[in-house]
Amino acid sequence: MNIPRLGERLVALVLLATLLFTPPLLLVFDRPAGGLSWLPLYLFIAWGTVIALAAWLLEQRSGE
C-alpha cells in the first residue's frame, strides 16, 4: 500500500461508483429507446468500468 495517494484515489472511485449506481444518473438511462430500457446495459458498462479502474489503481506498481 505504498502507492502515493492511493487512499484518496480509492475513495474518489467509490464515490464515483456510488454516483453511477444510484438514481439521479440512473434515470437518464431508463428511457425506453427502441422499446427496451437501456438500464441493464448501462449498469453493466458502468460496473465494468469501475472494476477496470480499481484494477488499474491497485495493480500498478505491483512490486510490493
Partner 1 sequence: MRTDTVVLSVAFGYLALLFVIAAWGDRRAEQGRSLIGSPTVYALSIAVYCTAWTFYGSVGRAAQFGPSFLLIYLGPTLAMLLSPFLIRKMVRIASAQRITSIADFISARYGKSSSLGALVAVIALIGITPYITLQLKAITVSHAVLINYPQAPALSLVEEAFWADKSFWVALVLAVFIILFGTRHLDASERHEGMVAAIAFESLVKLVAFLSVGIFVVFVLFHGPGDLFAQVAASPDLVGALGLEAVPGGASGWIGMLVLAFLAFITLPRQFQVLVVENVDERHLKRASWLFPLYLLAINLFVIPIAMAGMLLSAGDPDSYVLTLPLSAGLEALPLLVFIGGLSAATGMVIVETIALSTMVSNQLIMPLLLRSRRLHLGSRGELAGWLLGIRRVAIVLIAPPWASSPAP
Q: Name the one residue in this structure whose C-alpha cell is 444510484.
A: 22
At closest approach, how far in Å is the CB of 4 from partner 1? 14
With contact defined as beta carbons under 8 Å apart, do 13 and 58 qualify? Answer: no
Query: First CA to last CA across the chain, in angstroms?
Result: 8
Applying CB under 8 A, among 4, 5, 35, 63 the residue interacting with partner 1 is 35
By CB under 8 A, tell whether 5 contacts partner 1. no
Q: How far from chain centre, in Å, is Cα 39?
A: 15
Interacting residues with partner 1 (CB under 8 A): 1, 6-7, 10, 13-14, 17-18, 21-23, 26-27, 30, 32, 34-37, 39-40, 43-44, 47-48, 50-51, 54-55, 58-59, 64
